[in-house]
Amino acid sequence: MASHYETLGLSPDASQEEIKKAHRKLSRKLHPDLNPGGDTEEEYKAVSHAYEVLSDPEKRRNYDATGNENGTGAQGGFGGFGGFGDIFEQFFGGGDGGQGPKSRTAPGRDALIRIRISLEDAVKGTNHKLQLRTAVLCTVCRGECVEPGSHPVTCETCHGAGHIQRPVRSLLGQMMTVAECPACSGYGTTLPKPCPECQGSGRVAETVTKNVKLPAGVDSGTRVHLPGQGEVGTGGGPAGDLYVEIEVDRHPVFERDGDDLRAVLSVPMTAAALGTDVTLETFDGDHEVSIDPGTQSGDEVRMNDLGVPHLRGGGRGDLRVTINVETPRGLDEAQQKLLRDLAEAREETFTEGKLESRGLFSRLKDRLRG
């Protein structure tokens, strides 16, 4: 693994100024929004992390001494919420005591997008093309907020402090209060020539297409986390995260039950009595459902490993087919005679059209299996 210095292209005796510069340069170069499709996200994160450590004198001392930053035990995990805040306060000097000018650079917000996919895509996994309206880095000024070639100038009203002291009269006499500088809105600098593309915010609204890889086994409510794919911040600030929440459409045949798929298969009474094979079109192609002779309505045929892949760990659920035996309707004379003959042969006899009830009733729970 490269050292934090190597990651930033610096030698171990680099000054804070050099560290700051290297980070700024690499962040701009590697920013994921400027490199769509180019896999710079990991590198971008490594650079951010290296900077987080080296820009903090205490963390840097510890890193120099031990070769890792875990010695202090105070190191927060990187990549979660809150991580960026620290870095950017250090980077732009916003957080040291609260008296300095505000930074134009702020981290972007996280975004949550909901998408609908078919059950088949949920079972097989898919690459989902997602279109969303978001804020991207302004390519004209690259987040500098000013027209290329021009620079922010120190605010004349507050002389770069971002705040002004104002005398106010009170009952106790004259007092000084500190207020945000109205001329520069607290930034300490003004933009004589704001970037015409982004009006000085460093970012622009754009409809972007993202390719979201959905693993096999996702379900309604599953959230896919895409770090750094959310809205880009102002003034070249890092992008927030994008969360994609999935909603799976109903399927006309299959219904999800945990990681099992369930379906109901209707078969004629004769087929249920005699037994047969029925071809069922599954997400894995055609499969034979074997109906045993004497199958009852409500019986279940379980087809192993044709269900939904487990999202964590290997393997799949099953496909469970519930059999619905269809009693024939609208029998003609000849068909009625055939069934009467069958009833007679099986001694399922009628007395003047009425069936003997003894022995036919059973407890409900004994009847309903599975």
Q: Work out which of 195, 232, 263, 301 binds Zn ion, going by CB under 5 A.
A: 195
Q: What region, left, alpha or beta, does residue 220 occupy, with left being phi > 0 and alpha being psi -120 to 50 degrees?
A: beta
Backbone CA torsion sign across 187, 35, 311, 285: positive
For Zn ion, the closer CB: 184 or 239: 184
For Zn ion, the closer CB: 143 or 228: 143
Residue 187 C-beta: closest distance to Zn ion, Å: 7
Separation of alpha carbons 276 and 298, rounded Å: 16
- Which of the ranges 23-31, 134-142, 225-233, 260-268 carries the binding residues for Zn ion, by CB under 5 A? 134-142
Separation of alpha carbons 221 and 256, rounded Å: 14
3-state secondary structure of 13: coil
- Which of the ranges 60-68, 117-125, 175-183, 299-307 carries the binding residues for Zn ion, by CB under 5 A? 175-183
Residue 159 C-beta: closest distance to Zn ion, Å: 8
* Rg, Å, the chain Cα set: 35
Separation of alpha carbons 277 and 215, rounded Å: 33
Q: Are 25 and 34 in contact (CB under 8 A)?
A: no
Residue 180 C-beta: closest distance to Zn ion, Å: 8
What is the SS3 string spanning 40-78?
A: CHHHHHHHHHHHHHHCCHHHHHHHHHHCCCCCCCCCCCC
Q: Is position 138 an interface residue for Zn ion (rule: CB under 5 A)?
A: yes
Separation of alpha carbons 218 and 369, rounded Å: 30
For Zn ion, the closer CB: 141 or 224: 141
- Which stretches of 215-318 are assigned E, i.e. beta strand? 223-226, 242-248, 255-257, 260-268, 276-282, 285-291, 300-303
- Which of the ranges 41-49, 62-70, 131-139, 209-217 carries the binding residues for Zn ion, by CB under 5 A? 131-139
- Which of the ranges 182-190, 306-314, 332-340, 351-359 carries the binding residues for Zn ion, by CB under 5 A? 182-190
Q: Is position 198 an interface residue for Zn ion (rule: CB under 5 A)?
A: yes
For Zn ion, the closer CB: 237 or 307: 237
Q: Is position 181 an interface residue for Zn ion (rule: CB under 5 A)?
A: yes
Residue 265: count of CB within 10 angstroms of its CB: 14
Residue 248 C-beta: closest distance to Zn ion, Å: 40
Backbone CA torsion sign across 62, 63, 67, 71: positive
- Which of the ranges 189-197, 206-214, 225-233, 346-354 carries the binding residues for Zn ion, by CB under 5 A? 189-197
- Which of the ranges 25-33, 49-57, 61-69, 177-185 carries the binding residues for Zn ion, by CB under 5 A? 177-185
Separation of alpha carbons 329 and 323, rounded Å: 18
For Zn ion, the closer CB: 9 or 93: 93
Q: Work out which of 43, 86, 147, 197 binds Zn ion, going by CB under 5 A.
A: 197
Q: Is position 206 an interface residue for Zn ion (rule: CB under 5 A)?
A: no
Q: Are 51 and 74 in contact (CB under 8 A)?
A: no
Site string (79-118) toward Zn ion, x via CB under 5 A: ----------------------------------------
Helices (H), 73-196: 83-92, 119-124
Site string (143-172) toward Zn ion, x via CB under 5 A: ------------x-xx--------------
For Zn ion, the closer CB: 217 or 233: 233
- Which of the ranges 115-123, 141-149, 284-292, 318-326 carries the binding residues for Zn ion, by CB under 5 A? 141-149
Token couple for 288: 């034979």
Size of the site for Zn ion (CB under 5 A): 12
Q: Is position 183 an interface residue for Zn ion (rule: CB under 5 A)?
A: yes
Separation of alpha carbons 101 and 153, rounded Å: 13
Tally of residues, the chain: 370
Backbone CA torsion sign across 267, 268, 273, 276: negative
* 210: amino acid identity, one letter: K
For Zn ion, the closer CB: 24 or 251: 24
Q: Is position 140 an interface residue for Zn ion (rule: CB under 5 A)?
A: yes
Residues at the site binding Zn ion, with contacts judged by CB under 5 A:
138, 140-141, 155, 157-158, 181, 183-184, 195, 197-198
